[in-house]
Amino acid sequence: MKRFILIAILALTASCQVVYQCPNDGKVFKCSSEPLEVCGIKTIKGVQIKETFVNNCQACSTGKVEFTVEGKCEDYLEEAQFCSPSEKKLEECDDQIEPQCAWFDQDVKCLVYPCAINAKNRCSSCQVKNVLYTTEGKCPKSI
């Protein structure tokens, strides 16, 4: 039984969603075609453009995207606005009220839907540990 619990814990920690900041030097990388699909995100005029890539290397090569999140873009809510690594590092947020639903990554195990919290704005949402992305407005009550 202890062995089963240990294997279950290892499986859960292995499924964490990793956010990776791409280098911004515009280099072309020699990438493998080994599939480990990622959602690549690039912000253009304040709008996140999301595209699924075969792997992290191909997404980041030649500056195609700013950062990646593990998994296909289609696996997430269409309106998801991912918290970038630079947003996670901000030390201060303004007090502007623009309600956001802050959705947790897979490290947080929720017992009920939604696996999210209400926050006053996007900046404060992305400051919360284990928040992966936000959606506009208050969190849904249930599905």
Question: What does the domain layout of the chain look like in residue ranges?
Answer: 1-73, 77-143
pTM, 2 dp: 0.81
Distance CA 50, CA 5 (A): 36
Q: How many alpha carbons lie under 13 Å from residue 66 in its C-beta half-sphere?
A: 15
Q: How far apart are CA 50 and CA 68, in angstroms?
A: 9
Indicate the pairing of strand 100-104 with strand 131-136: antiparallel
H or E element at residue 19:
strand 19-21
pLDDT in tens, 29-88: 788 889 999 999 999 999 999 999 999 999 998 778 999 999 999 999 999 999 999 999
What's the rounded Cα separation, in Å, for the pair 104 and 110?
Answer: 9
At residue 5, does pLDDT exceed 80? no
Residue 9 pLDDT greater than 70, yes or no: no
Length of the chain: 143
- Ramachandran area for residue 130 (φ above 0: left; ψ -120 to 50: alpha; else beta): left
